[in-house]
Amino acid sequence: MIICITGTPGVGKSTIAKRLSKRIGANVLDLEEIAKKEKIVKGYDRSARSYVIDETKITKAIKKYIEKGKDYIVPNHLSQFISPKIVDFCFVLRYNPKKLEHRLKRRKYPKRKVMENVETEILDSCLIESIQNKHRKIHEIDTSDRKIDDIVNEIIKIINGRKKPSYGKTSWMKKYESMLK
Ligand SMILES: Nc1ncnc2c1ncn2[C@@H]1O[C@H](COP(=O)(O)OP(=O)(O)OP(=O)(O)O)[C@@H](O)[C@H]1O
Ligand SMILES: [Mg+2]
């Protein structure tokens, strides 16, 4: 089983993946690490201080690190680009843009990168990409003011089939449009 956890940088993907992996005994795959090893990095965005991964090559690269019968979690803002053929669940974590701005500023991200990511969150980018890539089981979770274990419990419910995956309820646009450039 492969579980994608996507969402704008800073929403809590790695934190949730770590806790989830302990609960369900799955391995966490570091997509950035794999991208470097497999040389699918297109370049380095200096102003954003991050590597640019070639999305079209992610699936092939990741297949090398997957064994049949084992469970994997891929927490990355590009995990929605993995082929839906090999992905079982695609979780999209959301976070209040105002809170996200504070969290990213605390990380000492450059101003431009903070605002780019806030914009990405307001525009539902990761969710839209997940839908465009035709993932079958997409589940969106607004993590704002929610405890890590509470979020992980919801994810486990979806995986176990005790809750139906759904998306489309989170909408920041009305309230936070003024934060866009
Ligand atoms: N539900 C939560 N409640 C409180 N704090 C949280 C929660 N989720 C994440 N955090 C905190 O928010 C910060 C960002 O989390 P994390 O690094 O997991 O985000 P990320 O989505 O993996 O970011 P990136 O895309 O840059 O890797 C961390 O300091 C983490 O402890
Ligand atoms: Mg992370």
Q: What span, in angstroms and rounded, lies between the C-alpha atoms of 122 and 10?
A: 14
Q: Residue of the nearest CA to atom 16 in ligand 1?
A: 12
pTM for this one? 0.97
| Residue of 15, 19, 103, 125 best suited for mutating to test ligand 1, as the one with most atoms within 8 Å of CB | 15
CA distances from 90 to 47, 76, 77, 78 (A): 29, 11, 11, 11
Q: What is the pLDDT of residues 88-113, one digit of tens each?
A: 999 999 999 999 999 999 999 999 99
Q: Residue of the nearest CA to atom 31 in ligand 1?
A: 15
Q: Does the pLDDT of residue 51 top 90, yes or no?
A: no
- In eight-state DSSP terms, residue 16 is H
Q: What is the pLDDT of residues 63-85, one digit of tens each?
A: 999 999 999 999 999 999 999 99
